[in-house]
Structure 1
Amino acid sequence: HAQDKLVMRRRLRALGIPCPDWAHVTSRADLEAFGRRVGWPLVLKTPRGGYDGKGVRVVTGPDDARDWLDAVEAAGAGGTDGEHGTTMADGLLAEAMVGFTRELAVLVARSPSGQAAVWPVVETVQTDGICTEVLAPAPDLDPELASRASESALRIAGELGVTGVMAVELFETRDGDGRPAYLVNELAMRPHNSGHWTIDGSVTSQFEQHLRAVLDLPLGSTRSRARWTVMGNVLGGDYPELYATYRHLMARDPAMKFHLYGKDVRPGRKIGHVDVSGDDLDDLRARARHACDYLQGVITE
């Protein structure tokens, strides 16, 4: 379920969890038929190996996916898909384009004995397919929708026998009557980028909770430490040496928490994140964005 999107979609459908309309595509004819049914454009995904926008395409017709469809045909004949280094004999996942309001995520933890805990629903902000900001909790979220999304996350964790932390990524939408609704986009059965805010913004971080769950210890409180916590992802830029930049930002904003991962700096690569908590959401977002932009080299003051 964590590694294969087709397996995940089939299981969620069986559980009655709301998901985007989807189809298993193994040929051009399959893709054309699905496009006629749900309308173009649509989203096409490789079942395995995709992340941060990789292995995902928005296609306006079969010609936009010619190379992937050729790879599926070759994989079925014993070949491989060179782009992703993984066989594509199982075909592709096609999904209807969702007209969503914003993206949300629910982080849940479950232990082998069945104890489970869920953090507040958060808003995730994407830029070019990469999560660049997380707002905890999601601002102005309908309480009933938050409750239903949290209940679904807990149910998925229980039905799939999850041990540890799992993130459920959602689209916030509207139903036929205009009421708030949601669709499950992805599952990530691990500590997740959408939960990095918990290191500084929650009584129990996702990493501590993951260990508690794996060891079947009592789970910790998921209560927030502040009214708001904003997490900003630090992406690599043109400046590989970050130490002086890091020192400057620590002095500029002593209340901000910095987490760099020790990765080699490459443009667009996630190399760390910042957390900042408080009562003024707009101020927190501005401070987090400034720090991320400064670390990336987008701004120099």
Structure 2
Amino acid sequence: MVETTAQLQAVQAGRADLLPGILKTARMGYDGKGQVRVKTTDELAAAWAELGSVACVLEKMLPLTAECSVLVARGWDGQVVSFAPQRNVHVNGILAVTHAYEGNMPAALADRARDAAVSIAQHIGYVGVLCVEFFVVEDGTEHGGLVVNEMAPRPHNSGHYTLDACDASQFDLQVHTMAGLPLPQPRQHSPAIMLNLLGDVWFDTSGHLQEPDWHSVLSLPGTHLHLYGKVEARPGRKMGHLTITGPDVASVQTVAYRVAGLLSLPGLDAI
């Protein structure tokens, strides 16, 4: 924790093992905001000043190989159901792509992630939909180790695909948990890729506002557009998402690439 100049100096003097790292504000940081990557003690001092010298956490950067998340729903009676883990791709600290289909990650790793998320929900007595995000890190094992990165006590951006690809969405399960209704085990009926739509999509290469080419996008099979009703588009602002579903993974990937080309969306190089 870095809250004072003395603590900053102590980190600079005795915790070089934390570098390279990411300096994060302890409050009001999200979607890549309130975060600065630092490699040296001088960069650390400059980053703290840039963030306003507010309370921050310095996290050592890990050897990441992937990121994933698991959505679980736990009722008042302790019943827990979950969705299959989804593999996520972030660009500049913001979720860009969610891969939700069988084979999106090694089965053994997916099982471990799901078991860990369920265990967390049970241990803290959580009621509602909970998203647990994991880093997959190199640890010398075949599939890598899991490190919990974040917990979101609510329906989560990476689970929005469930609206179109499952017979019960994360929002349905949230209602069931809050109302004390039975929790059905959700079934995913279609492989899916979800693409986040940031405000950047509304600007051309010259920086002028333009309406995205929704007509061409929605003419592609299996495309489901969800806009959040935000009046002003700004770069980096989440404006909506697009889910692509289909009969098989290959067809979903093909359409996702076409959509990414039409809207100049990043992140699909990890398919």
TM range (shorter): 0.7 to 0.9
Is it true that 1:148 corresponds to 2:112 in the alignment?
A: yes
With over 3 angstroms needed to count, the CA separation of the structure-2 counterparts of 1:55 and 1:141, relative to structure 1, is same
With over 3 angstroms needed to count, the CA separation of the structure-2 counterparts of 1:30 and 1:287, relative to structure 1, is farther
Aligned match of 1:127: 91
Aligned match of 2:163: 199
TM-score (norm 2): 0.83
Aligned match of 2:138: 174
Deviations 1:233-253 (A, max 9, x none): 1122317564x8323432x22
User: For 1:155-234, what aligned pairs fall within 5 Å after superposition?
Assistant: 155-226=119-190, 228-234=191-197
Aligned match of 1:55: 34
With over 3 angstroms needed to count, the CA separation of the structure-2 counterparts of 1:214 and 1:287, relative to structure 1, is same
Unaligned runs of 5+ in 2: 267-271
- The Cα shift of 1:282 comes to 4.3
Aligned match of 1:32: 12
**Alpha-carbon separation, structure 1, partners of 2:141 and 2:233:** 47
Match of 2:25 among 15, 39, 46: 46
Q: What amino acid does structure 1 have at the position aligned with 2:164? A: D
Q: What amino acid does structure 1 have at the position aligned with 2:106? A: D
Deviations 1:154-191 (A, max 9, x none): 11112223221111111112324455321111111111
Unaligned runs of 5+ in 1: 1-23, 72-80
Q: Percent identity?
A: 34
| SS at 1:31 equivalent | helix
Q: What amino acid does structure 2 have at the position aligned with 1:294? A: L
Aligned match of 1:259: 226
**Alpha-carbon separation, structure 2, partners of 1:198 and 1:180:** 27
Aligned CA RMSD, in angstroms, stands at: 2.6
Aligned length: 256
| SS at 1:94 equivalent | strand
**Alpha-carbon separation, structure 2, partners of 1:292 and 1:267:** 17
Aligned match of 2:269: none
TM-score (norm 1): 0.76
Is it true that 1:272 corresponds to 2:240 in the alignment?
A: yes
With over 3 angstroms needed to count, the CA separation of the structure-2 counterparts of 1:62 and 1:297, relative to structure 1, is closer
Deviations 1:119-173 (A, max 9, x none): 1011101111111110013635222221121111111112223221111111112
Deviations 1:11-58 (A, max 9, x none): xxxxxxxxxxxxx333213422564234x2112211221111111221
Question: Is the 2:228–2:239 Cα contact (8 Å) retained in structure 1?
Answer: yes
| SS at 2:111 equivalent | helix
| SS at 1:101 equivalent | strand
**Alpha-carbon separation, structure 2, partners of 1:194 and 1:284:** 17
Aligned match of 1:93: 57
**Alpha-carbon separation, structure 1, partners of 2:189 and 2:129:** 20
Choose 198-207 or 154-163, whichever is displaced more: 154-163
**Alpha-carbon separation, structure 2, partners of 1:132 and 1:59:** 23
**Alpha-carbon separation, structure 2, partners of 1:233 and 1:177:** 32
Question: Is the 1:106–1:149 Cα contact (8 Å) retained in structure 2?
Answer: yes
Deviations 1:228-269 (A, max 9, x none): 211111122317564x8323432x224211111111222232
With over 3 angstroms needed to count, the CA separation of the structure-2 counterparts of 1:177 and 1:291, relative to structure 1, is closer
With over 3 angstroms needed to count, the CA separation of the structure-2 counterparts of 1:50 and 1:127, relative to structure 1, is same
With over 3 angstroms needed to count, the CA separation of the structure-2 counterparts of 1:282 and 1:30, relative to structure 1, is farther
Aligned match of 1:245: 213
Q: What amino acid does structure 2 have at the position aligned with 1:66? A: A
